[in-house]
Amino acid sequence: MRTLYKYISVFLLTSVLLVGCEKDFDEINTSPNSPDKAQSQFLLTYAQRQFAYAIYDSWFSGRMASVASQQWAQRNYTTEDRYEFRANVTNNYFRNLYFYLMNLEEVIRLNTDAATKTEMANVSGDNNAQIATAMILRAAIIQMMTDCWGAIPYSQAFKPLQYPTPAYDSQADIYAALIAELKQAATLIGTTTSAWDAGGDIIYGGDMTKWKKFANSLRLRLAVRMNRVSPASANTEALAAIADGVFTSNDDNAVFNFIKDGTPNAAPMYEAFFTSARNDFSMTKQFVNLMKGLNDPDIRAGGYTNPFAGISDPRLPIYRGPAMDNTTIGLPFGLADEDMKGYVNANPNVINYFTSPIAKVIGADFGSIFLDYPTVCFMRSEVANWDRTWFNNGVVASCEMWGVSAANTTAYETAVMAAYDAAPVAQREELVITQKYIHLFTQSHEAWSEYRRTGFPLSIVKPNEVTLIDGATTYRFVTLVSSGTDIVARFQYPSSEFTLNKDNVNAAITAQGADNLSTRLWWDIN
């Protein structure tokens, strides 16, 4: 594992994105310990680290995307579960994500500008390799942002002097631009003469072959995401990305690994639940029952048929350790605070899911996943009309990635494929997407997007549906902020945008639809 310690002292450099200097300073007044520009390798490290936090932390992920995907619920302060999201979280992450993007933009500038590119090459490696890496990571961040909000500033966003109040681009235009940029990045990698300096790249250690696979795999994800709204072009782009070379094993996974021993670079969930001693989240009852192979009788009138009924998922004890009586149950989603407290008190074995033996999930060195091989397998199954072989490959690769034993993997693979073979052809989509959703635990933004795009898994509880039957009492999922008849479709724009960029955010709302939780994104037409 590559350490981050040596980069901590230079993280402060990243707050200065456009550094000027006086031409006439004498050398005696220039300290070698106070550089006038940040080195590109440190800018990259910082952007990777902070994006890794956004993907799997207790705020933007935990209290927003993870509850939106219903993979977990909150034991305390359940208002987010019922869609009353905190404005400060939205404001902070919208702003911070653009800050990380500006770090990547600076990497590109430093390696493009004639005044600095030679120095960057001497210090950090091939200019084209650095540019391509920044472009690929930028595309991953932008995709997550547009899949959360829809239209966002993009084409004008990285020119603050020219566009202090940047216009919003439509999601369709952003997707097209990202695909083009990923192709360009892959082409640049083909012209590189040497790799990145391995020290600045925590994800791949400067391995440009893996970065190219990451670029093509991101293209595949973009193409699959838009396959319902633009099926012809989506299929063309997906096949082209596959042909150009996507992930071929878990060794290719784009993962940012944190440091086992430590603060300040331990994984964000470790910091939240060990360093800060929080006890907020548990897997939802619906998600647990899905993985246990149970038909949840509490969901909607008429119940819910689990496509993997009777099949116990060996990933469950890795996702969540057993409770006090050695059973595993979860929290019903969408209860009010008082009802949740009553349920937890009446069921003492519903404990915080961050408990032994799930160190893989909340360990200090847990890796935040940007994109992985099992996801690529499930996407390739979909592109090939829900192909059995790629579906099987995805199930096996997911089990292997999560550390399931070989024997348990084989048993589970056999059972899942038997369910696939027994199911009617029309149900194959549900089977593949449900397995993909299960695999995407800790990648909550993607799990949420998959449900919005496909409507699966059917275990998701919609507003006003039954979430718990407890004796003679029936509880329904009643939202505090309306999302219409389905789960939250997007996040609302941060309030800061209405102060700082009012005209452009209002123009985006006019074009896209009301700034509420029920306005669907461009690709969400299921």
Q: What is the distance, to the nearest Å, from the Cα of residue 191 to the centroid of all Cα atoms in its chain?
A: 30
The dihedral built from the CA positions of residue 40, 43, 49 and 54, taken in this order, carries a sign that is negative
The rounded distance, in Å, linking the Cα atoms of 502 and 201 is 37
| Arithmetic mean of pLDDT over the chain | 87
The rounded distance, in Å, linking the Cα atoms of 394 and 380 is 9
Tell me the average pLDDT across 247-261: 91
pLDDT, position 471: 83
Higher pLDDT, 276 or 521: 521
User: E strands within 24-71?
Assistant: none
pLDDT at residue 14 above 50? Answer: no
pLDDT, position 15: 37
pLDDT at residue 10 above 60? Answer: no
Tell me the average pLDDT across 295-309: 77
Give me the residue label for tokens 């992985």: 372
Helix, coil or strand: residue 450:
helix
Q: How confident is the model at residue 359 (pLDDT cuts 50, 70, 90)?
A: low
The rounded distance, in Å, linking the Cα atoms of 108 and 117 is 9
pLDDT at residue 41 above 80? Answer: yes
Tell me the average pLDDT across 394-420: 97
Omega of the bond leading into 348 within 30 degrees of 0 (cis): no
**Phi/psi of residue 466, each to 5°?**
-70, 130
Omega of the bond leading into 264 within 30 degrees of 0 (cis): yes
156 to each of 15, 90, 140, 174, 436, how far by Cα in Å? 20, 21, 18, 12, 35
pLDDT at residue 75 above 50? Answer: yes
Q: pLDDT of 130-157, one tens digit each? A: 999 999 999 999 999 999 999 999 999 9
pLDDT at residue 101 above 90? Answer: yes
pLDDT at residue 257 above 80? Answer: yes
What is the tally of helices (H) and strands (E) in the chain? 20, 8
Q: How confident is the model at residue 237 (pLDDT cuts 50, 70, 90)?
A: very high
Q: Considering only CA atoms, which of 466, 524, 516 is closest in space to residue 84?
A: 516
The rounded distance, in Å, linking the Cα atoms of 517 and 432 is 27
User: E strands within 220-353?
Assistant: 254-257, 281-283
Tell me the average pLDDT across 239-261: 93
DSSP 404: -
Omega of the bond leading into 357 within 30 degrees of 0 (cis): yes
Higher pLDDT, 20 or 314: 314
Q: How confident is the model at residue 439 (pLDDT cuts 50, 70, 90)?
A: very high
Are 517 and 83 in contact by the 8 Å Cβ rule? The answer is yes
The rounded distance, in Å, linking the Cα atoms of 310 and 214 is 36
Give me the residue label for tokens 């500038």: 109
* Token digits of residue 97: 């994500």
Q: Give the residues across from 483 on adjacent strands.
A: 485
Q: Where are the domains of the chain?
A: 268-476
Tell me the average pLDDT across 343-347: 82
Q: How many CB atoms lie within 10 A of CB 55?
A: 23
